Chain A
């Protein structure tokens, strides 16, 4: 793999199928994510979004197919959780026994020092720890939590906790970051603030690409809010079990696959989109992804180059 390939590569899912006994969940799912993309993953409940996410995370590898990420500069199978993939859950992302600052600095510590180093080289570890804490503090400053650094998670509001959780994952700059309905438990106003925060990171991606560097943040965000998907994502991927599998020669549903994959409008962090303008996108998605009555060929709405 050449360096420029590496700079472009985010994630590759190839023919991923998964089932639980008789229940087919995912079927022959293909998904390539480029570095720097913000992919919004949507789909009806029970379509296997969580299964796909856990497969990518590596805690539950798929029964068939490959999921490849860059691990130490080489393409490797993501068959266990690792440093190359970050995750933000709806809850339980933070460690209750660490302050916001130490929660964010934790990954740097795990990743860049070993237990032996920390136990045997106290002076060296002290220096490193200061460096990690400074970096974590700067990152928390960036997500607007400069005042809350020394609070424990139980002392923070839900919105603050999710900010810290996102900072904790993003500071590692993994190859891909998975967000599993990260704002699902938040109220509408907090939700929007956090969406704006994610868009700030998208701006950093754009700057990096303009300078020819590898964009630092690549994400897949699972959400059930279409407006959130449209605003945060620069690409909408719809996963659904409602597609015309009979035409592919199956006599019963083989599971969900990607039925919708199109670029999404891109917004700046300060831009409040007029969601009315996207009525047709939402309409489209409701038809193709969510409606069990409408069955189309699986590649009919998979179109990443809308000009063609």
Chain B
């Protein structure tokens, strides 16, 4: 039968199994490679990986720990960019959804901008914002604003007009309809949209760091890749994955806390 439910313990067992298989597969491939070339660094074995981890967690010649430097640089860029993008994306979407002249005014540029690949537009950001903090922040923010604004705008347009008219009959002001009815009703969809925008935001940031960064995850990965120090590159990728996962999990938690009503289909 399609979608037959399985028990919780089976879910856990199968999930762990797939991760173990992945690790075992890697170990085997790495082993084969080292039989051919004992000095290989493209598919490092576990002891090489351990060396790599030591390399970026111990202070280097300049007494700096890469992992700390890179995390701080990349984290600040990402969170500032995401923060600005989320605030402006939400505000623009709300205004487009609630105020029809603004909708008519902003719809053409927003829907066009949503289609521009940010990584292809890197040069534009270099020209306008240099290669400092502003560039990263602007690129992430502008990269996610159109998608977020479009999501919020469409979510508002999907609301049945009944619930807005109803609010007016209960004595709500325009502001109250926007802040207490529209906002609360679209909040879970907005949080989901933010979750989806984290992926692109990281892509934009890493790409930009690879091209012009002097510190950060993208910079480190590119540099270590040039030296074929894959024992640094792989752990960095794993950390990026875990970071993205944690952020997504946090937002899901936030959604469950803020919108306990959402996706309750029990009757």
Contact = CB atoms under 8 A, between A and B. Distances in A.
Could you tell me the dominant secondary structure of chain B's interface residues?
helix
Interface in B173-197: 173, 175-176, 179-181, 184-185, 187
A111 B162 contact: no
A174 B173 contact: no
A89 B260 CA distance: 25
A155 B171 contact: no
A157 interface: yes
Contact of B169 (A87, A98, A112): A87
A20 interface: no
A82 B169 contact: yes
A59 interface: yes
A85 B170 CA distance: 8
Contacts of A57: 165, 169
B166 A87 contact: yes
A169 B168 CA distance: 12
Interface of B: 160-163, 165-173, 175-176, 179-181, 184-185, 187, 259-262, 264-267
Contacts of B176: 110, 115
A170 to B, nearest CB: 12
A245 interface: no
Interface string A49-86: 00000000101000000000000000000001111011
Interface of A: 57, 59, 80-83, 85-87, 89, 91-93, 95-98, 106-107, 110-112, 114-115, 152, 154-157, 168-169, 172, 174
A267 B162 CA distance: 32
A124 to B, nearest CB: 17
A157 B265 CA distance: 12
A249 to B, nearest CB: 37
A92 B172 contact: no
B260 to A, nearest CB: 8
A103 to B, nearest CB: 10
A93 B162 CA distance: 7
